[in-house]
Structure 1
Amino acid sequence: MAARLRLPDAITLATAGLRARRIRSALSALGIAIAVAAVVAVLGIAQSAKADLLTQLGEQGNLLTVASAESVNGRGIPLPATAEPMIARIPPVRTVTAVATVENVTVRRSRAIPAVQTGGMNVLATRPSLPATLSAPPLLGHFLDATAEHYPMTVLGFEAAKILGIGSLETPTQVLLGDHYFTVAGVLAPVTVAPEIDLAALISFGQAEQVFGRTAEPTRIYLRADPDQVAVVAAVLTATTMPDGRNDVQIRRPSDLLVARIAAKGAFVGLFLGLGGIALLIAGVGIANIMVISVLERRGEIGLRRALGARRRHVALQFLLESTLLAVLGGVLGVGLGLLATAVAARLGGNPLAVPVAAPAAGLGAALLVGALAGLYPAARAARLSPVEALRSR
Structure 2
Amino acid sequence: MTRRLRPARLRPADIVRLGGTGLRTRPLRVFLSALGIAIGVAAMTAVVGISASGRAEVDRRLDKLGTNLLRAAPAERDDGTRAKLPKEAVAMVQRIGPVQRAAQTAVIDGARIYRNEHIPIGRTGSIDVTATGRGLLPVIGGHLKSGSWLTPATERFPGVVLGATAAERLGVDTPGTRLRIGQRWFSLAGVLRPVPLAPEIDSSALVGWPAAETYLGFDGHPTTVYLRAQDRQVTAVRDVLAPTVSPGHPGDVAISRPSDALAAREATESTLTGLLLGLGGVALLVGGVGVGNTMVISVLERRGEIGLRRALGATSGHIRGQFLTEALLLSALGGLGGTVLGTGITAGFSVLRGWPTEVPLWAAGAGIAATLLIGAIAGLYPAIRAGRMAPAQALSGP
Q: TM-score, normalised by structure 1?
A: 0.89
Q: What is the distance in 2 between the residues matched to 1:227 and 1:135? A: 15
In structure 1, the partner of 2:366 is: 362
In structure 2, the partner of 1:135 is: 141
In structure 1, the partner of 2:209 is: 205
In structure 2, the partner of 1:268 is: 272
State the SS of the aligned residue for 1:367.
helix
Contact 1:77 1:219 in 2 (8 A): no
More displaced, 7-16 or 293-302? Answer: 7-16
For 2:211, the aligned partner's letter is Q
CA deviations on 1:131-156 (whole Å, 9 max, x unpaired) are: 11011222333322223224433222
Q: What is the distance in 2 between the residues matched to 1:64 and 1:374? A: 56
Superposed displacement of residue 372, structure 1:
1.4
Equivalent of 1:238 in 242, 254, 269: 242
Correspondence 1:106 to 2:115:
no
Correspondence 1:4 to 2:9:
yes
Correspondence 1:189 to 2:200:
no
For 1:129, the aligned partner's letter is G
For 1:355, the aligned partner's letter is V
For 1:79, the aligned partner's letter is L
Superposed displacement of residue 352, structure 1:
2.4
Q: What is the distance in 1 between the residues matched to 2:116 and 2:22? A: 72
Contact 1:303 1:386 in 2 (8 A): yes
In structure 2, the partner of 1:35 is: 40
Contact 2:77 2:252 in 1 (8 A): no
Inter-CA distance 132–32: structure 2 relative to 1 (3 Å threshold): same
Q: What is the distance in 2 between the residues matched to 1:76 and 1:138? A: 32
CA deviations on 1:320-369 (whole Å, 9 max, x unpaired) are: 11111111111111111111222222233333222222111111111111
In structure 2, the partner of 1:18 is: 23
Correspondence 1:389 to 2:358:
no
Superposed displacement of residue 246, structure 1:
9.0
For 1:321, the aligned partner's letter is T
Q: TM-score, normalised by structure 2?
A: 0.89
State the SS of the aligned residue for 1:148.
coil
In structure 2, the partner of 1:279 is: 283
Inter-CA distance 227–17: structure 2 relative to 1 (3 Å threshold): same
Task: Write the mapping of 1:1-394 to structure 2, written as runs, cut at 5 A.
Answer: 2-58=7-63, 59-70=65-76, 78-111=84-117, 113-165=119-171, 169=174, 173-178=177-182, 180-245=184-249, 248-393=252-397
Instruction: Give the share of equivalent positions with the same residue, in percent.
Output: 46
Contact 1:76 1:219 in 2 (8 A): no
Inter-CA distance 71–161: structure 2 relative to 1 (3 Å threshold): farther
CA deviations on 1:226-281 (whole Å, 9 max, x unpaired) are: 12222322233233222444982222222332332233233333332222222211
Contact 1:31 1:283 in 2 (8 A): yes
Q: What is the distance in 2 between the residues matched to 1:110 and 1:27? A: 63
Q: Which runs of 5+ in 1 are unaligned?
A: none
Q: How many residues align?
A: 390
Contact 2:243 2:250 in 1 (8 A): no
More displaced, 175-184 or 285-294? Answer: 175-184
More displaced, 260-269 or 129-138? Answer: 260-269
Q: What is the distance in 2 between the residues matched to 1:76 and 1:205? A: 22
Q: Which runs of 5+ in 2 are unaligned?
A: none
Inter-CA distance 311–142: structure 2 relative to 1 (3 Å threshold): farther
Inter-CA distance 228–309: structure 2 relative to 1 (3 Å threshold): same
Q: What is the distance in 2 between the residues matched to 1:295 and 1:173? A: 79
State the SS of the aligned residue for 2:190.
strand
